[in-house]
Amino acid sequence: MSNESLANLMTETRRFAPPAEVAAAANVTAADYEAAAEDRLGYWAEQARRLTWEREPTETLDWSNPPFAKWFADGRLNVAYNCVDRHVEAGHGDRVAIHFEGEPGDSRAITYAELQREVSQAAHALTELGVATGDRVAIYMPMIPEAVIAMLACARIGAPHSVVFGAFSADALATRIEDADARVVITSDGGYRRGAPSALKPAVDEALTRPGAARVRNVLVVRRTGQDIPWTEGRDLWWHETVGRQPEEHTPEAFDAEHPLFILYTSGTTGKPKGILHTTGGYLTQVAYTHHAVFDLKPETDVYWCTADIGWVTGHSYIVYGPLANGATEVLYEGTPNTPHQGRWWEIVEKYGVTLLYTAPTAIRTCMKWGDEIPAGFNLSSLRVLGSVGEPINPEAWVWYREHIGGGRTPVVDTWWQTETGAMMISPLPGVTLAKPGSAQTPLPGISATVVDDDGNEVANGSGGYLTLTEPWPSMLRTIWGDDQRFLDTYWSRFEGRYFAGDGAKKDADGDIWLLGRVDDVMLVSGHNISTTEVESALVSHPRIAEAAVVGATDPQTTQAICAFVILRGGAPQEEGLVEELRAHVAKELGPIAKPKRVLAVDELPKTRSGKIMRRLLRDIAEDRELGDVTTLTDPAVMDLIQSKLPSAPSDD
C-alpha cells in the first residue's frame, strides 16, 4: 500500500459496507438498537431469556444502592447446565464443543455429551475434596480442555474460580491464592510451549510455601506432558485418578443470579492487582448475547476460534462462557502462533474450517511483520467474521486483517470492553453497521457510553475526552473482591454517578467512538494532550514500521517529550535518514507538535502476557532510570535487548 493511500486512510473516514449476504441473515439488526433505546431494561430482560433458568427472573435491575447493582436478582440458574447439559438435552450431544489442538500436533474433539460427562465427574471430585458452594478454587493451567472443564465444574457447584494465567510467577500465583483464600488449586504437570514441555507444577509448589497460601488443602494435577514433577503425598492428587473414578452423572443445583461466578485479577500494569468479581445471571446473559450478536454466530454451522488464553477475561467470556452458552463449536489451541512455523494459526483455520476468528491487534501486527506470503499459503476462505480486542487496532492492521486474512470479504469487529465490564460494550455489528478501520464505533444495543470532558460534560462530535459508561449493564463487575471502597474510588468517583473506564476516547464527525488508550498514557507536550495511541498509529502507517510504542519522557522544555520505540518491518537494518523520515512522517500525519523527539529502533517491545505494552518500563528507559518491576512481562530478557540498542543521541528541534 502506498504512503499516500495510507495517509488517506488515516485522515479520511473510509467505510466498508457489510456484504449483502451477511446483512440479510444477521442475528441482530438495526431494529435492536431502536428496541434497546426505547426500553433498555426490557431489551436485557429479553436477552436473559436466551438462558435456561430454573426460576425465571421477574426483576431486571435493582439499582437502589448504586454502584452495587443486582441484575435478575430473583432468578435462579446453573451456569454449567446452560453451557453444557441443555445442549445435550436439546439433541446436540454429538455436536463438537471443543476441537482441541495441542502444540505438538495432537488433537482431540470433545462433544457436548462428553463435556457433560467430564464436567460432571470434575464437579463430583471437587465436592469430594470438600469444596462447598461459595468456596474459592484457584486454576493455574495451560490451554488444555481440562482448564475449561475445571472452570465449568466450579460453576456447576457454585464455587467461584480464580484463574491465574499459566505463565505467571509463583509469587503472582501466591498473592492471588491468598487474596481469594482458595483452598484447592487445579493445575497440570506442564504444557507445550514453543516446541517443548514447560513445567507448571513447580511454581504451584513454590507458591504454596508462601505463608498466605499455606491454607491450600489439595492440588489437583492434570497429566499433560508426563514430565517428572515434585509431589507432596496427601496434598497432591492426579486429575485422572481423582476425577476419572467419579460418576458421570451429576445433578446441577441452581444458584441465585447474583451468586459469585468468578474472581479475575486484572493484569496490573500499575499497582496491586484488583480481584474483579463477576456474578452469575447478568454475566452469562451479556456474554451469550454479545457472542451471538457481534460474531453473528450460527451454532449449527460456525466454527469459532478465540486465540486468547483462559487466564484473561477474553478467555473466560469468549472461550468458555459465551460460546458454550450458545452451543458453539470452537477451537482451543495450546501453543504459540509460530510453533513449529509461522503459518501455524492459518494451518489451524484451514484444518477446522474456522469461520469466526477473535484475536488481538498485537498478534495481527506480528503476523504482518512475518509477511503477507505466510497466510497466503493457506486456504482461509471459511472465515466469515474477524474480531479484534485488547487495544486500539490501528487502521493499517485493520485493513491488513480484512484483506490478508479475511480475503477482503469479512467484516472486522473491533470490540471494546474490559475485565471489569465482563463482556463486549462497544463494537460494530456485522451486517448492521458500516465499518470504519480503527474505530470501535457504537455502544452495543442496551449499552450506554459517552465521551466527556474534565467536568463530566459530553464532548461535541470531533472532540476527545474520557470514556464513561452512563448506565449499569448486566455483566458489570459487582465489586473488587474484599475491597468495596477501592471499587468506589477506582471506577465511580471521577465522574458523579458514572463508571469511568480509564480510557481516553474521541468522537468523530459522525459521533463514532475511537479509543485512544488508557488516559495514563496521554502525553502532555508543550501544553497539548497527545495520545500515545495516535502517534503509534501514525508510525505504523509508515511502510518501514511493523510495531511502535510511544511514551512521554520528562523534558525540561516541553513538560514531556515524545519518545518512540519502533520495530522495523522484515527486520532489515536501519537505513540512513530513516529516523528523520519517521519524524517527518508523524509531523505530516498529526502535526508538528506530535513529532517524536527520539525514535529508537528495537527488536522487541516489552509486553504483558495479554499483549499490552508496558509503557512504564519504556519510560524508565527514556528517562534513564532503573527499571521497575518486570515480572509480568512475557519475556523479561526483552529489556536487556532494548537497552543494548541504546543510546541513540536525542535529536534537537
Residues that bind ligand WT7 in the complex, under the rule CB under 6 A: 266-267, 312-314, 389-392, 414-419, 440, 501-503, 515, 517-518, 610
| Spatial CA neighbour of 118 closest among 71, 74, 80, 82 | 80
- Give the annotated binding-site residues for ATP: 390-392, 414-419, 503, 518
**345/416 with CB nearer ligand WT7:** 416
Binding-site annotation: residue ranges for CoA:
193-196, 314, 338, 526
* Smallest distance, ligand WT7 to C-beta of residue 66, A: 21
Of 110 and 605, CB closest to ligand WT7: 605
> What single string gives the DSSP state of each residue in 344-359?
HHHHHHHHHT--EEEE
Q: In the numeric block, which cell numbers belong to residue 605?
A: 517491545
Residue closer to ligand WT7, measured from CB, 119 or 393: 393
Q: In the complex, what is the shortest distance from the CB of residue 501 to ligand WT7, in angstroms, rounded to a whole number?
A: 6
Radius of gyration of the chain (CA): 24
Q: For ligand WT7, give the closer residue by CB, 73 or 319.
A: 319
**Three-state secondary structure call for residue 186:** strand
Q: Please report how close the Cβ of residue 434 comes to ligand WT7 at its closest, in angstroms.
A: 17
CA distance 135 to 209: 21
Residue closer to ligand WT7, measured from CB, 290 or 558? 290
Least Å distance, CB 440 to ligand WT7, is 5
Contact 421, 447 (CB under 8 A): no
CA 29/CA 32 separation, integer angstroms: 6
From the CB of 605, what's the least distance to ligand WT7, in Å?
Answer: 16
Q: Which residue has the cell 514500521?
A: 545
**Are 407 and 380 spatial neighbours (Cβ–Cβ below 8 Å)?**
yes
By the 10 Å C-beta count (0-12 exposed, 13-18 middle, 19+ buried), 85 is classed as buried
* 440, 414 Cβ separation under 8 angstroms: yes
CB of 122 to ligand WT7, least distance (A): 26
Cα 302–Cα 305–Cα 310 angle in degrees, nearest 5? 135
Q: Which amino acid is at 198?
A: S
| Binding site feature residues | 193-196, 314, 338, 390-392, 414-419, 503, 518, 526, 540, 542, 545
Shortest reach from residue 269's CB to ligand WT7, in Å = 9
Q: Which is nearer to ligand WT7, 242 or 419 (CB)?
A: 419
Contact indicator for 47, 66 with CB cutoff of 8 Å: no
Nearest approach in angstroms of CB 502 to ligand WT7 is 6
Residues 6+ apart with CB under 8 A from 272: none
Give the cell for residue 522: 496521554
Question: Binding site for Mg(2+): which residues?
Answer: 540, 542, 545
CB of 406: closest distance to ligand WT7 in angstroms?
Answer: 17
266 versus 468: smaller Cβ distance to ligand WT7: 266
Please report how close the Cβ of residue 586 comes to ligand WT7 at its closest, in angstroms: 20
Q: Which is nearer to ligand WT7, 210 or 486 (CB)?
A: 486
Report the DSSP beta bridge partners of residue 62: 70
Closest by CA to 434, choosing from 16, 11, 7, 1, is: 16
- Dihedrals φ, ψ of 377, to 5°? -80, 0
The conformational region for residue 72 under phi > 0 = left, psi -120 to 50 = alpha, else beta, is left
Q: Report the alpha-carbon distance of residue 577 to residue 316 in Å, rounded.
A: 47
At 389 the three-state DSSP class reads coil
CB of 21 to ligand WT7, least distance (A): 26
Could you tell me if 57 and 72 are in contact, meaning their C-beta atoms sit under 8 angstroms apart?
yes
Taking each helix axis as running N to C, give the angle between helix 532-540 and helix 578-590, from 0 to 180 degrees, rounded to the nearest 10. 120
Beta-strand relationship, 61-62 and 260-265: unpaired
Separation of alpha carbons 368 and 378, rounded Å = 15
Degrees, nearest 5: CA angle 438-393-2 = 70
Name the DSSP class of 320.
I
Angstrom distance (rounded) from CA 55 to CA 58:
9
Beta carbon nearer to ligand WT7, 343 or 517:
517
Instruction: Give the DSSP per-residue string, 300-319.
Output: TT-EEEE-S-TTSHHHIIII
Smallest separation (angstroms) from ligand WT7 to the CB of 622? 21
Looking only at the bridges linking them, the beta strands covering 598-601 and 161-163 are unpaired
